[in-house]
Amino acid sequence: MVSEDDVRRTDEALSGMTEKDTRKLIRSFQKKQEPLLVYIAAVIEREGLNEEEQDLLTTATILSWRIIQDAFPKLKKVTMEEIEAADNKLFSTLEKFDEMNENQQMHFGTKVLAEYPERELLGYLSEKVVAAEDIREDARGLIFLVLKNVLDLLIQARN
């Protein structure tokens, strides 16, 4: 399991990167996990995310990948079939989530976090989504669930 220190240290390192280093990291992500990049781009377009929401989703996805990649160097590439299955599961979860009131949504999030294999990383991502500015309230739940989806796929790819 990834520690909270690993997550924070990696996030700080990524935040402090030069533009050139950031482009290099994105190219590496694209080379090693192109299907995930395609998936994130599709979600952004499908859901009509604004620029701040796009940035949050993209940077949190790359953060997740970098942390899992560093912890599991033999991480395999996620396939489009795996992404499609995970996305279908996401739609089912979103339908249930939309039917919940805010209190039930918070309980759902707490339960997911408590049972999650990489709870430090998922908790950190959750904090980033909650703390983000210029994010529409109705997009927060979606972004969290997409990030959880990405993390589920990366966890699956490490095995």
Give residue 35's pLDDT.
96
- Tokens coding 47: 């859901």
The alpha carbons of the chain give a radius of gyration, in whole angstroms, of 15
How many whole angstroms separate alpha carbon 65 and alpha carbon 10? 11
108 lies in which domain range?
4-158
- Tokens coding 48: 């009509």
Task: Using the structure block, give the residue that is written with the tokens 């090693």.
Answer: 32
pTM exceeds 0.85, yes or no: yes
Q: Which residues contact 9 (CB under 8 A, 6 or more apart)?
A: none
In degrees rounded to 5, what are phi and psi of residue 7?
Answer: -65, -50
Q: What is the pLDDT along the chain (159 residues), one digit of tens a residue?
A: 899 999 999 999 999 999 999 999 999 999 999 999 999 999 999 999 999 999 999 999 999 999 999 999 999 999 999 999 998 888 887 777 777 777 877 777 777 778 889 989 999 999 999 999 999 988 998 898 899 999 999 999 987
The 10 Å Cβ neighbour count of residue 141 is: 19
Q: Which residues contact 132 (CB under 8 A, 6 or more apart)?
A: 52, 56, 140
Q: Domain count of the chain?
A: 1
In SS3 terms, the chain reads as CCCHHHHHHHHHHHHCCCHHHHHHHHHHHHHHHHHHHHHHHHHHHHHCCCHHHHHHHHHHHHHHHHHHHHHCCCCCCCCHHHHHHHHHHHHHHHHHHHHCCHHHHHHHHHHHHHHCCCHHHHHHHHHHHHHCCCCCHHHHHHHHHHHHHHHHHHHHHHC
Give residue 115's pLDDT.
83
